[in-house]
């Protein structure tokens, strides 16, 4: 995937990567460190273990489980930076969503009508045609059979930037670098509220 993607994936899980080498021709060692659990989670787990499992565990609500299932959701990622595009696609594919990627507004427009994505992750500051312009064109194409929800991806995260994003029709604003947990929380929230509908495999 490339070292940049590896680093971003590891850091999105609160870990780090260290590289060492003895010199030219002697190869390199890559050490990945990931946290096992936060102190808060460890304390909660210890407290849980101190109770009788049979009295504390409840049967999961199937409807609640389904509401959090992101498998089957059609996601179109529009990002002109290849490393960022590959990272976001990799993060979502881990959860069995159907993902397609576009590197430009023009390519995204070509995919939109035929594939009918349910969710767009759209970079704002793209070279050439930016995300705001693309969003206006996509909204003009919307019919009853190709409704979509859009999340803006941007390095500009001021209150003014956020307000502009929301006023243009984006459902949410996600600052770069993309945080894996926040991204999935947004996606699951949209599903739980019925704004997009997952189609888990039978």
Q: What is the pLDDT of residue 142?
A: 75
State the SS3 of 98-147. EEEEECCHHHHHHHHHHHCCCEEEEECCCCCCCHHHHHHHHHHHCCCCCC
Q: Contact at 8 Å (CB) between 135 and 150?
A: yes
pLDDT score of 63: 44
Domains and CATH numbers, the chain: 1-53 (no CATH), 63-192 (3.40.50.2300)
Taking Cα atoms as reference points, which of 124, 135, 131, 121 lies closest to residue 88? 121
For residue 179, the SS3 value is coil
Task: Report the DSSP beta bridge partners of residue 153.
Answer: 123, 174
Residue 127 half-sphere exposure, CB side, CA atoms within 13 Å? 4
Distance CA 95, CA 180 (A): 11
- How far is it, in rounded angstroms, from Cα 43 to Cα 138? 48
Return the pLDDT at 24: 87
Query: What are the per-10-residue average pLDDT scores of the chain (202 residues)?
Result: 66 78 86 70 44 36 50 92 89 88 93 89 92 91 75 83 87 86 87 78 45
pLDDT value for 18: 84
Q: Is the alpha carbon torsion for 184, 189, 166, 139 positive or negative?
A: positive
* DSSP state for residue 53 in the 8-state scheme: H
- Distance (Å, whole) CA 92 – CA 28: 30
């Amino acid at each position: 995937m490339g070292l940049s993607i590896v680093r971003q994936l590891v850091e999105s899980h609160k870990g780090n990567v260290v590289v060492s080498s003895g010199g030219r021709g002697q190869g390199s060692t890559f050490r990945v460190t990931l946290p096992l659990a936060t102190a808060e989670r460890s304390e909660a787990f210890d407290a849980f273990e101190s109770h009788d499992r049979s009295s504390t565990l409840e049967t999961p609500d199937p409807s609640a489980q389904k509401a959090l299932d992101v498998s089957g959701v059609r996601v179109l990622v529009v990002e002109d930076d290849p490393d960022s595009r590959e990272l976001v696609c990799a993060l979502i594919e881990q959860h069995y969503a159907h993902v397609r990627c576009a590197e430009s507004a023009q390519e995204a427009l070509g995919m939109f009508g035929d594939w009918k994505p349910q969710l767009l992750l759209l970079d704002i500051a793209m070279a050439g045609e930016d995300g705001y312009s693309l969003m206006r064109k996509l909204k003009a194409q919307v019919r009853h059979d190709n409704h979509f929800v859009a999340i803006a991806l941007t390095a500009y995260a001021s209150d003014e930037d956020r307000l502009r994003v929301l006023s243009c029709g984006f459902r949410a604003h996600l600052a770069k670098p993309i945080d894996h947990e926040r991204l999935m929380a947004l996606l699951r929230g949209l599903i739980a509220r019925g704004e997009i509908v997952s189609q888990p495999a039978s």
